[in-house]
Amino acid sequence: MHHEPQRPAGVCCTGRVTANAAVSTGLIRLDLELEMPAEFLPGQFAMLNPQPGSAAFVFNRPFSIYGIDGQAVSFLYRIVGRGTAAMGELVGEDRVGFMGPLGRPFPVREDDRPALLLGGGVGLPPVAAWLERWGRDGDLACFGARDGGDAPWQLLDARWGVSVDEVAGVPENRTAFHGRVTALGADRVAGVKGPGLVLACGPVPLLKAARDLARDIAWECWLSLEEHMGCGYGVCKGCVVPVRVDGPDDRTWRNATCCDEGPVFAAADIAWERYALPPVPEPGPGTMEAKP
Ligand SMILES: Cc1cc2nc3c(=O)[nH]c(=O)nc-3n(C[C@H](O)[C@H](O)[C@H](O)COP(=O)(O)OP(=O)(O)OC[C@H]3O[C@@H](n4cnc5c(N)ncnc54)[C@H](O)[C@@H]3O)c2cc1C
Ligand code: FES
């Protein structure tokens, strides 16, 4: 049983852009120098505003924190709409609104159980931050990218296995698994004895497959969810996730705020039958060591 750690105090300020550059075809790393130091726990996020003080963005956007060192904070993001497009335009000395850290983090490491970390696309920061903070020999980290060009190889050291949907773009000196990241995870975890911990962040099909894998191998499973958010701190109720509550039957549920009671939830706590899920295609077995 994990006890939730004390959350670090949040700060609300602006950050000066110190770097904003692509780390792959799909991911951009944003580095900010905050006006004051901050701390975070892996899995926590911040609400960012690319044009603080202007009326252009009434709502801040949530982004997982990749790292914080004093006043330096970093994020990895993908351009998907208006807010992230504005982030893509940021250059040195521009200021970004920052509110964070927010939300419930992944569990802290409390014992010797190995961890299987699964990150897909923009789901890399929270699991990478956990590995950085608490990783040890025996942990298995897997990142899933669309193709070889989409993976930020320079951020993925030898601890990481990489899976790709398409093999194009895998660098000469690297290898990748051709298939789902959860298939890679299942492959790497085969033969590991005893109980462990699965921590995952990514699109809902990945989360659901991570939950299924954890159930199959009887490992504890924690998932970081990415709901649409308005306020980011529990007031607007725009981000709710159905979770189970103790009751007369196992279908008793309530709405939990993803921003405050999450974004990290125990997989067993989510009322999956009420959680909107896109159809999941049958998983393929995948093949090791795919090269272009
Ligand atoms: C806790 C949390 C952590 C996140 N961490 C990251 C991260 O580290 N890197 C990153 O790139 N993104 C992350 N996201 C998603 C990110 O917040 C959205 O991509 C962003 O808000 C989109 O803003 P936009 O104005 O560009 O898009 P919009 O113009 O608002 O929407 C464009 C498209 O993106 C979709 N979208 C909008 N918000 C979300 C969302 N929250 N989740 C999924 N799809 C969304 C919309 O449905 C639409 O299809 C995170 C979300 C949450 C809740
Ligand atoms: S985003 Fe407002 S309550 Fe969660």
What's the CA-to-centroid distance between 229 and ligand 1, angstroms?
8
pLDDT digits 0-9 by tens, 25-39: 999 999 999 999 999
Q: Is the CB of 226 under 6 A from ligand 1?
A: yes
Give the pLDDT confidence score for residue 162 in this predicted structure. 97
Question: Where would I find the beta strands (DSSP E) of 186-252?
Answer: 197-201, 220-224, 240-244
Task: Report the b/e string of 168-181 with b at 16+ CB within 10 A.
Answer: ebbeeeeebbbbbb
Sign for the CA dihedral angle at 202, 211, 143, 257 comes to: positive
Give the pLDDT confidence score for residue 292 in this predicted structure. 46
Q: Is the CB of 257 under 6 A from ligand 1?
A: no
What's the CA-to-centroid distance between 263 and ligand 1, angstroms?
13
Task: Determine the atom of ligand 2 nearest the C-alpha atom of 228.
Answer: 1
Residue 228 pLDDT exceeds 70: yes
Higher pLDDT, 1 or 262: 262
Give the pLDDT confidence score for residue 249 in this predicted structure. 66
Q: How far apart are CA 283 and CA 292, in angstroms?
A: 22
Look at the block and give the residue holding tokens 């159905």. Answer: 242
pLDDT band at 275; cut points 50, 70, 90? confident
| pLDDT > 90: percent of the chain | 83
pLDDT digits 0-9 by tens, 103-127: 999 999 988 899 999 999 899 999 9
Question: Probe ligand 2: pick from 45, 60, 99, 235, max atoms within 8 Å of CB?
Answer: 235
Give the pLDDT confidence score for residue 287 in this predicted structure. 59
Higher pLDDT, 246 or 256: 256
Q: How far apart are CA 45 and CA 94, in angstroms?
A: 21
Task: Determine the atom of ligand 2 nearest the C-alpha atom of 259.
Answer: 4
Strand partners, 256: 241
pTM: 0.93
Q: Cβ of 8: how many Cβ atoms within 10 Å? A: 15
Tell me which residues have their CB closer than 6 angstroms to ligand 2.
229-232, 234-239, 257-259
Q: What is the DSSP letter of 121?
A: G
Higher pLDDT, 251 or 292: 251
What's the CA-to-centroid distance between 239 and ligand 2, angstroms?
5
Higher pLDDT, 281 or 70: 70
Question: Where would I find the beta strands (DSSP E) of the chain?
Answer: 11-22, 28-34, 45-49, 61-64, 67-69, 72-77, 95-102, 115-120, 140-147, 160-166, 176-178, 197-201, 220-224, 240-244, 253-257, 264-266, 287-290
Q: Is the CB of 291 under 6 A from ligand 1?
A: no
Across the chain, mean pLDDT equals 92
Give the pLDDT confidence score for residue 286 in this predicted structure. 61
Q: Is the CB of 45 under 6 A from ligand 1?
A: yes
| pLDDT > 70: percent of the chain | 91
User: Quick one: average pLDDT of 96-100?
Assistant: 97
pLDDT digits 0-9 by tens, 8-61: 999 999 999 999 999 999 999 999 999 999 999 999 999 999 999 888 898 999
Question: For the chain, which domains are there?
Answer: 11-102 (2.40.30.10), 115-226+263-274 (3.40.50.80)
Nearest-CA residue for atom 30 of ligand 1: 81
